[in-house]
Amino acid sequence: MDERILSLKEKMEKELSGISDLAEIDKIRVAYLGKKGSITALMKGMKELAADQRKAFGADVNKLKEAAMTKIEEKTEELRRHQVEMEIASMPSFDITAPAAKNMGSYHPITLVQRQCENIFKSMGFTVEDYPEVVTDYECFEAVNIPKHHPARDMQDTYYLENGQLLKSQTSAAQNAILRKYGPALKENGVPIKAIFPGRCFRNEATDASHENTFFQMEGMMVDKNISISNLIYFMKTMLSEVFRKDIKVRLRPGFFPFVEPGFELDISCLICGGKGCPSCKHSGWLELCPCGMIHPNVLTEGGIDPEEYTGFAFGLGLTRLAMMKYGIKDIRDLNSGSLKVLSQFTDD
């Protein structure tokens, strides 16, 4: 191989091995392969050679050119890889097998209480039902014995859609659908209806420490032959003692709801003030928590169940108020506030 070609090859290799910066590579490319580069100059000089030397020289210069391109490519790759390795090395270390960081979020207190109640009732053979938030006037009122213009509607003004549907003001809106869903199994196979249906409710009302315009209830129903108030009291007691796991004072007093007869208000002694009276319980020492009663014959009939043959109870637990009492939250409005400072401090027990 021609001496000039060999020395140029050595020079280029030496220069390439000495660089550590990608920007330098381009300078070398231009210096050897550019229009005025050393290898290009060798090629241009070929025409001055004798014809018998030209072919061999040309082949060697071509080999040099190819070798230069390959070496430059390899060096570029090597420097790029090195650059990436340096970037990775400078990153904070990251162990994908390490346990998750502590602050991973938390469940909303209403979710915690709802799940707890669901588990309690599931363990007693109840199914958990889901029901839409947008319902018809029939579902929310007429099917549960509240005809149009009944004064009981005044207590539950809600938000109406242009198509006449409404945001449900009470989970009782699902009662008729539950009776119709499970009625056939009751009548044909004697399987009692035992269902709970938690859900968000809406009411157009002024808010205060214990009233929100958006809150959660959990409705429950049981229908079979010979169901009585004793059954109702048993399930209410079991639920409350499981949720609070301590003795709490409750009182049962008569209450009017068109869909139960007789009807009761189940109140809980306010756990915020210990029953002394505070804004959370409107200074009465008691909080209305879970109205309930024996299902009105009209409601059973409307659901396709014969009230002469079957009886049942229903309750409408105020889940949001239950969460307040369980976690000592003084103001119901904190629960819809979205404030993580308030909401992230509660855990399951």
Interatomic CA distance for residues 87 and 115, integer angstroms = 47
Nearer to ligand FA5, 75 or 321 (CB): 321
34: tokens are 């550019």
The residue within the footprint of ligand FA5, chosen from 176, 217, 280, 311 (CB under 6 A), is 217
Nearer to ligand FA5, 8 or 325 (CB): 325
91: tokens are 């990153």
198 binds ligand FA5, rule: CB under 6 A: no
* Residue of minimal Cβ distance to ligand FA5: 318
3-state helix, strand, coil in the chain (%, to 5): 50, 15, 35
The distance of closest approach from Cβ of residue 318 to ligand FA5 in the complex, given in angstroms and rounded to an integer, is 2
293 binds ligand FA5, rule: CB under 6 A: yes
301: tokens are 């009939």
257 binds ligand FA5, rule: CB under 6 A: yes
Listed ranges 9-17, 46-54, 119-127, 256-264: which one lies at the site for ligand FA5 (CB under 6 A)? 256-264
Nearer to ligand FA5, 73 or 157 (CB): 157
The residue within the footprint of ligand FA5, chosen from 4, 115, 211, 333 (CB under 6 A), is 211
318 binds ligand FA5, rule: CB under 6 A: yes
The residue within the footprint of ligand FA5, chosen from 198, 291, 303, 312 (CB under 6 A), is 291
Cβ neighbourhood burial of 110 (10 Å; 0-12, 13-18, 19+): buried
296 binds ligand FA5, rule: CB under 6 A: no
The residue within the footprint of ligand FA5, chosen from 13, 118, 288, 331 (CB under 6 A), is 288
The residue within the footprint of ligand FA5, chosen from 240, 314, 323, 343 (CB under 6 A), is 314
Q: Is 252 left (phi over 0), alpha (psi -120 to 50) or beta?
A: beta
Cβ neighbourhood burial of 2 (10 Å; 0-12, 13-18, 19+): middle
Nearer to ligand FA5, 120 or 317 (CB): 317
In the region spanning residues 60 to 119, those forming contacts with ligand FA5, defined by CB under 6 A, are none
The answer to whether the peptide bond before residue 291 is cis (omega within 30 degrees of 0) is no
Listed ranges 29-37, 112-120, 133-141, 288-296: which one lies at the site for ligand FA5 (CB under 6 A)? 288-296
Q: What is the DSSP string of 228-263?
A: -HHHHHHHHHHHHHHHH-S---EEEEE---TTEEEE
39-60 as b/e: b if 16+ CB within 10 A: beebeeeeeeeeeeeeeebeeb
Asked whether 261 and 254 are in contact (CB, 8 A), the reply is no
User: Strand, coil or helix: what is 294?
Assistant: strand
In the region spanning residues 158 to 197, those forming contacts with ligand FA5, defined by CB under 6 A, are 170, 172
292 binds ligand FA5, rule: CB under 6 A: yes
The distance of closest approach from Cβ of residue 214 to ligand FA5 in the complex, given in angstroms and rounded to an integer, is 8
**Helix H or strand E segment including 103:** none
260 binds ligand FA5, rule: CB under 6 A: yes
247: tokens are 């003795």
Query: At 26, which amino acid appears?
Result: D
Listed ranges 106-114, 157-165, 189-197, 210-218: which one lies at the site for ligand FA5 (CB under 6 A)? 210-218
Residues that bind ligand FA5 (CB under 6 A): 170, 172, 203, 205, 211-212, 215, 217, 219, 257, 260, 263, 288-289, 291-293, 314-316, 318, 320-321, 332
